[in-house]
Amino acid sequence: MSEFQTHFRKDVKLLTSDTLFIFLLVLLGVLSFFIAVTTCTSYVWSMTGGSSVVTQHALELAQKSALVNYWSSVGNIFMVLFLAAAAMAISVEKESGMSRYILTFRARKPAFYLSKLLLLMILVAIALVIALVVYLVVFSFMDVPMLDASSLAASMLFPALGMMVFATLGLALSTFATKKGAVIALAVVVYMALTILSSFSIAMGSQAVYRDHPTAGPNNLTEFMPLEYKLLIYGNPIIISQGTSAILDANSGSWHPFDAGGGVVLSVAFFIVFLVLGLLSFSRERMEHSWLTTVKGIRKRA
């Protein structure tokens, strides 16, 4: 068995034996259920409380809007949950001293780190399946029409990418602190700061465009936006959460920050940057004992 497999099996055993794992799964299901019910109710109201004439185009647009609203809400909540959960991945073992103890036995740090990243990606996949199943069950039970399978799959793309990126960011943050409570607080502060900065950047960038180019619209907003605002907007991983609306084009009159291809490239770039940051930070992790102390202990036992 390879060293990576050993680390991964250990991580899976630690996760499944923790009651927080069951709590997380239940929380994901409950949150998805309430969001699905709310989305379904809004969809029904929009169809029955609006115009008495419902065209095929209006019906399809309402279905897309419902799907976008569901995954946007689920994606935003799940991103912060995975950011906090990932922030505990290494800090828990650092707080107990397990990570330093394992590294004493010449364990490879990249294998130790990447095994936790793989486990987080599996948890992201599980969360997506839970959210999708809840959506299908609620809308089927309410006898509400849904879009085809390809649209359902496309709507999951950016929530999945967003959760993966924030899980990777949380794992990187977990290398900076040894206390579980401290790193969770750090993760929440980072998420709030990114959210506020994103809203501020988009608002100020849009004002700058409309001030200098009054005829600009949603389709060419980014084209006229000053470079400093572009850097603030696209250098913030929160922007990934807006990708679902762009890929389904549910609101043609709203601004889409990127197309599907551009959003995927941007998400992959964030993933790689946070992965490298985490690996570099964890490479500085110390062992339980120095190499000199370990060698002396081996000589004494010999």
Nearest 10 degrees: Cα torsion 13, 85, 273, 124: 70
Dihedral (CA of 57, 59, 64, 68) sign: positive
| The pLDDT value given to residue 286 | 63
Q: Which residue has the tokens 């987080």?
A: 120
Residue 264 and residue 161 in contact, taking contact as beta carbons nearer than 8 Å: yes
Q: How many Å apart are CA 296 and CA 18, to the nearest integer?
A: 37
| The pLDDT value given to residue 142 | 83
Show Cβ contacts of residue 188 under 8 Å, excluding neighbours closer than 6 positions: 80, 84
Please give the C-alpha separations between residue 48 and each of 35, 62, 134, 187, in angstroms, as whole numbers: 20, 12, 24, 42
Per-residue model confidence as pLDDT tens digits over 251-301 = 555 667 777 888 899 999 999 999 999 999 888 776 544 433 444 444 454
Per-residue model confidence as pLDDT tens digits over 46-99 = 766 555 556 677 777 778 888 888 998 999 999 999 999 998 888 888 777 777
Q: Give residue 208's region: left, alpha or beta (phi > 0; psi -120 to 50).
A: alpha
Q: How many CB atoms lie within 10 A of CB 272?
A: 12
Residue 271 and residue 165 in contact, taking contact as beta carbons nearer than 8 Å: yes
Fill in the DSSP letter of residue 47: H
Give the mean pLDDT of 154-171.
93
* Buried b or exposed e, range 256-270, using 16+ CB within 10 angstroms: bbbeeeebbebbeeb
Q: How many Å apart are CA 20 and CA 18, to the nearest integer?
A: 5
Q: How many Å apart are CA 51 and CA 30, to the nearest integer?
A: 33
| The pLDDT value given to residue 171 | 94
Give the mean pLDDT of 154-172.
93
Nearest alpha-carbon partner for 7 in 96, 79, 102, 136: 102
DSSP secondary structure string for all residues of 135-146: HHHHHHHTT---
Nearest alpha-carbon partner for 74 in 118, 27, 117, 42: 27
